[in-house]
Each structure stands twice: as C-alpha cells, then as structure tokens.
Structure 1
Amino acid sequence: MPPLSWATSWTEWTLAPIPLIATVWGAGLYVVGVRTLHRRGDRWPVGRSIAWGAGMAAFYWATSSGFAAYDDTLLSAHMVQHMVLSMLVPLSLALGAPVTLALRTLPRAPRRWLLAVLHSRVAKVLSFPPLTFALYVLSPWALYFTGWYDASLRSDYIHEMMHLHLVLVGSLFFWPIVGVDPLPGRVSHPFRVLLTVLTLPFHAFLGVTIMGQTTLLGGEHYRALRDGPMASWLPDMRADQQLAGGILWGAGDLVGLVFFVILFAQWVRSSMKEAEREDRRLDRLEARAAAQEAARAEAQAEATE
C-alpha cells in the first residue's frame, strides 16, 4: 500500500461485505420508517434522522474507507477506528431513537415481539448499568492484552467481528444513558453523568499503559510489514504505538466531554419538562380548589335566601 495521505484515504476504499450489508440495511430500514410516518401525517424530528445518518456514515467510514484500509497496517490508524466505533457511532445511533421509530411504524404483531424483547429478562440483564460499564471498560484491555488483537490481524473474519463488537459494547453502555428510546436499564440523570465521567480515567490509563509498555502490540505482524515494500514509509513501531496510546487517551477524554455536554443538555431539558408538568398540576389543583370554593359560596348563598 502507498503511504497514508488525504489522497489514499479516498482512493483505497474497499467493499467489506459485513459493514456494507449492515450500513445498507440500517439506513434503509430507518428511511422506510420515517417515510411511513410522513405518509400517515405524523412528524419525526429531523435531528434524529441526521444523528442516525451520521452514525451509519461514521460506521461505514471507519470500516470501509481508505483510512480504514490502514487499520491493520498502522496501529495508530486502528486506534482512530476503535474510538469512532466504540464512542461516536453508538452516540449517533442512540440519538437517532430507532426503537421509538420502530414502535411507531411496525405492524401490530412485530411491535408486540419488539416489546416482548425489550421487557425480557435477557434485555434487562444486558442493560444492567454495572454490567455494561464493566463490559465497556474491560473490553479494550481484553482486546489489547490477550491474543485477541493478534488474531484479528491474522483473520479477516475475526477482524470484522471485532468491529461489530466495539459497536455493540459501546451501544449497550451508552444507549440507555444518552438515548431516548424506552429501553430497560435507564437510570436517573445524575447517575448517567457519573457513569460517563467514570469512563474517562479508564481511557486515559489504558492509553498511558499502551504508550509506556515495552511489548509491541501486534509486533510480529507489524514487523513483517517492515520487511516488505512498505518499509520505506512505515514509521517506527514504538513511535506508532505511542501515537496510538495518545490517540486513545486524548480522543477518549474529548468524546467523553461531548457525551457529558449532551447528557447535561438532556438533564436540563428533562428538568424543564418536569417543571412544566408540575406547574400544570398545581394549576389544575388551584382551579379545582377555586371551583370548590365557588360551589360552597353559591351553596351558602342559596341557603341564606
């Protein structure tokens, strides 16, 4: 492969079958759902459609673009891919609210099946916040400090499954936190903020560990590449690993702050809606009390007459 550049990031695109199928079906079914709502006169927030489209585009870019073609050539390129798949894609897809869209557009029988899945014991276990938090923070350690990453460099199938794993684990953790879908495992806004903040030191610690360790990740694979025609432009393996650790550290903190801002905005919006509901409740109570007082006054007036 030629040296990584802006030009090659556009010319080295591939047609990986699994990402292509997932992107086409994910985007296509969402468009069908939105069009179904529009045909019957219902509205669907444009922002949700944009978020879903951005998530699917980010997924396809991270797995099939010219930049993604270097994910088994440069560890630093893989780390960018890792952060996009594990954080940006789950965030965008969660904000797209596909479960809500499905519940509003599916026929009666499939809707009952979906509701049964959402209320099943399996869904409750998989959305249990301590479990999803543990999966999210421990998966990268398992990926880079076991034989899993080396296996993904040797097998295209394991490589593709790793991509899906990053998206699924990220979605299990972040979907109940920032999503608007009626999923099990949803907790109060303060606890959501706490869970998001707790992920930041884990990314930082993992990044620093990768930067400072003497063992090279995928050392055999990357060393073999430097014995071939790409040796003239491939960077030093240790320098590339240090860059990869820095990307994991910095990008984790940056995207974590984006999550925090979104959570804070959702928290404020939820508080405002709760205040509006409380105002309406108090207005109804006040109106009811005024009506009762008027009725008593009228009854007293009739009694005196």
Structure 2
Amino acid sequence: MGLVVSAGGAGVDNLPPFDAGALLSEWGLAPLPLVITVWATGLYVVGVLTLRRRGDSWPVGRSIAWGVGMLAFYLVTSSGLAAYDTVLISVHMVQHMVLSMLVPLSLALGAPVTLALRTLPRRPRGWLLALLHSRLAKVLGFPPLTFGLYVISPWALYFSGWYEASLRSTYVHEMMHVHLVAVGALFFWPIVGVDPLPGRVAHPFRVLLTVMTLPFHAFLGVTIMGQTTLLGGDWYPSLHDGPLGAWLPDPYDDQKLAGGILWGAGDLVGLVFFGVLFAQWVRSSMKEAVREDRRLDRLERQELRAQQSASAPSAPSAPGDEAE
C-alpha cells in the first residue's frame, strides 16, 4: 500500500492511473483531518457513554449520522480521493461535494450541540449557552446570510485565484477543506433543526431554501462544463509534462466531467435533503396534530364534567326545614 503525503500537489509524480484500486492503496497522511476526526469522534463517543452511565438514552440514528459524517470527512481527505484531488479536477469535485454537502448534513443530524448541552459540566455548558445566544451566533445563523455564503462560495473558489492557490499550497489546500465543511455546516445546521441553534426557521421555509440551492449548483456545473479556459491555470496541463502524462485525460475533458459531477451530485444530495426535510415536516405536523387532539379531548372532558355538575340534583332538604 502506497503512502502519499497529501498536500497541495506534493508527492504526486509517482501516482498510478486512477481507478478503484488506487482509491484503496494510495492513502495520504494529512495531519489536520486526522486530528479533527480523532477528536470529534472521541468527544462524541464520550458524550454518548456519559449519558448511558446516567441511565439516559441517546438515539442510535444520531450516533450513526455522526459516524457517517466523520467517516466521509476522513475518507475524502486521506484516501485515494485526497491523493488525486490535485491531479484530476473531477476527483476534486467529488471531494468538494462530499465536504460541502454530505459531511455537514450528516454531522447536523448527529445533534452534537444537544449532546454537549446534556453532558457538559455546569461551567462549560454555560459557556456554550452564552455562545449560542451571542450576537455572533445570531449573525452566523441568519438564513439569508448562510444561503448567500453557501451559493456564492463555490463561484468565489473556482473563478478567483483561490483554487489555483489551493493546488500549489499545502496550507491553502487544507484550509479549503475546512472552509467547505464550515460553510456547509452554517447552511445545513439551522435548516436541519435538530440542535437548538440560532436561525432555525419553520419547515416550509427550510424546504424553500433547499429547493433554491438546486439551480445554483446546476448553473455552476453547466458554467464549468462550458468554460474555454482551465480552472487552476496551467496546473493541470503542466502535469502532462511529467510521468503522469502517460495516463492523465485531457484537462478540458476532465473539467467537463467535473462540471457534470457538480451538477448531478448537487441535485442528488439536494433532493435527498429535501426528502429528509419533508419527512421532518410530516412528522412534526403529526405530532402537532396529536397534541391538538389531546388538548381538545381535555377541553371536552372538562366541559362534560361541568355539565354533569350543573345537572346533578341538589341534596334533599331536612323535614324540619320544610316546617319552618
């Protein structure tokens, strides 16, 4: 199994042709993703175990969602996908979609803030509550702002010098990964609505925001597919001058494939998320209907008791009272 130092294009000269075997064999050693994965997973497990020791329950589905999110994050930043993400823009685009959509959505469904509020000691829990109620949290959770960041960020990435800088710099490359997850989290977390975060809105508005993202991904994908200039400047053509040129596809063809991946994957994940939100909406409506039925039943019972009390015969008077 090969070991590649995954960072800004370093150590890619000896990569074999990209295929399913390369995904499993060309693992990278990226310190930042490794540290984030270990700490985030470890703290979550500690929180769940703390609840269980107290005799409290924690939904298994939330733990699975968190595990899927962290596993996806580590795989796309350390497996063969990470090794080839500076060699093939189509591979980078798969990585981009996982980091910006699948990972934030899964982590949001894991409800880590709720878990922290239920398990942290008193003082750290107070700090977290203060942060959640701070002005900064309210600004970052403002739905129009998060929506704007989410749809504008990819345009800023690919049509500025930022993307080419990420190909040439280890630091910028890693920060791009963190940025994709952070922007996705700002958008998805309040919309999922599991954690008590600022910016949560009603279910119809959540569905509307999700639907509105679909044309932006499609338009960006089509724009990339139709570009007559290469993203990343001369980075990809220069790779053809080395050993990789024996198997690398034409950069323009690979860029068209990347645009199609962005278009198709964005719509697919968006529709899946739409289904999740719709299911949440239906479940919430059913719970609200049950609560309303219980409220009406209570009112009916109270009214019935009142009618029975009013219609009950009064106690008979004593004989002495009639004589008087």
What TM-score, normalized by structure 1, do the two folds share? 0.97
Question: Which letter does structure 1 place at the counterpart of 2:61?
Answer: G
The structure-2 alpha-carbon separation of the partners of 1:11 and 1:302, relative to structure 1 and needing over 3 Å to count, comes to same
1:262 matched residue in structure 2: 276
The structure with more radius of gyration: 2
2:178 matched residue in structure 1: 164
2:4 matched residue in structure 1: none
CA distance in 1 between partners of 2:132 and 2:146 (Å): 16
1:242 matched residue in structure 2: 256
Select the residue among 24, 45, 50 that pairs with 2:64. Answer: 50
RMSD: 1.2
Matches within 5 A, 1:42-121: 42-121=56-135
CA distance in 2 between partners of 1:220 and 1:40 (Å): 59
- Is 2:136 the partner of 1:122? yes
1:134 matched residue in structure 2: 148
Conserved 8 A contact 1:94-1:174: yes
CA distance in 1 between partners of 2:136 and 2:308 (Å): 55
Deviation at 1:296, TM superposition (A): 2.4
2:12 matched residue in structure 1: none
Deviation at 1:10, TM superposition (A): 0.9
CA distance in 2 between partners of 1:303 and 1:119 (Å): 64
CA distance in 1 between partners of 2:131 and 2:172 (Å): 28
Conserved 8 A contact 2:193-2:200: no
Conserved 8 A contact 1:52-1:93: yes
CA distance in 1 between partners of 2:307 and 2:133 (Å): 46
Conserved 8 A contact 1:144-1:217: yes
Conserved 8 A contact 2:81-2:92: no
CA distance in 2 between partners of 1:246 and 1:50 (Å): 30
CA distance in 2 between partners of 1:304 and 1:76 (Å): 95
The structure-2 alpha-carbon separation of the partners of 1:283 and 1:4, relative to structure 1 and needing over 3 Å to count, comes to same
The structure-2 alpha-carbon separation of the partners of 1:303 and 1:69, relative to structure 1 and needing over 3 Å to count, comes to farther
Question: Which letter does structure 1 place at the counterpart of 2:145?
Answer: L
Gaps of 5+ in 2: 1-14, 319-324
CA distance in 2 between partners of 1:302 and 1:62 (Å): 82
Q: Percent identity?
A: 75
The structure-2 alpha-carbon separation of the partners of 1:220 and 1:295, relative to structure 1 and needing over 3 Å to count, comes to same
Question: What is the SS of the residue equivalent to 1:67?
Answer: helix
Question: Which letter does structure 2 place at the counterpart of 1:47?
Answer: G
CA distance in 1 between partners of 2:194 and 2:302 (Å): 34
CA distance in 1 between partners of 2:95 and 2:255 (Å): 14
- Is 2:231 the partner of 1:217? yes
Deviation at 1:179, TM superposition (A): 3.7
CA distance in 2 between partners of 1:261 and 1:196 (Å): 10
Question: Which letter does structure 2 place at the counterpart of 1:183?
Answer: L
Deviation at 1:294, TM superposition (A): 2.6
Select the residue among 162, 181, 198 that pairs with 2:212. Answer: 198
Deviation at 1:194, TM superposition (A): 0.5
CA distance in 1 between partners of 2:307 and 2:40 (Å): 59
Gaps of 5+ in 1: none
Q: 1:29-59, CA deviations, whole angstroms, 9 ceiling, x for partnerless residues?
A: 0000000001111110100000000000000
Q: Which moved more, 1:289-298 or 1:166-175?
A: 289-298
Question: Which letter does structure 2 place at the counterpart of 1:87?
Answer: M
Q: 1:241-298, CA deviations, whole angstroms, 9 ceiling, x for partnerless residues?
A: 0000000000001001000000000000000110111111111111222222233234
Q: 1:140-171, CA deviations, whole angstroms, 9 ceiling, x for partnerless residues?
A: 00000000001101101100000000000001
Question: Which letter does structure 2 place at the counterpart of 1:126?
Answer: L
- Is 2:304 the partner of 1:301? no
Deviation at 1:303, TM superposition (A): 7.7
CA distance in 1 between partners of 2:16 and 2:222 (Å): 30
CA distance in 2 between partners of 1:33 and 1:191 (Å): 32
The structure-2 alpha-carbon separation of the partners of 1:233 and 1:292, relative to structure 1 and needing over 3 Å to count, comes to same
Count of residues paired in the alignment = 304
Which one has a larger percent helix, Structure 1 or Structure 2? 1
2:221 matched residue in structure 1: 207
Q: 1:76-135, CA deviations, whole angstroms, 9 ceiling, x for partnerless residues?
A: 000000000000001100100001111111111111111111111110100100000000
- Is 2:36 the partner of 1:22? yes
- Is 2:48 the partner of 1:34? yes
Conserved 8 A contact 1:4-1:67: no
Q: Which moved more, 1:267-276 or 1:219-228?
A: 219-228
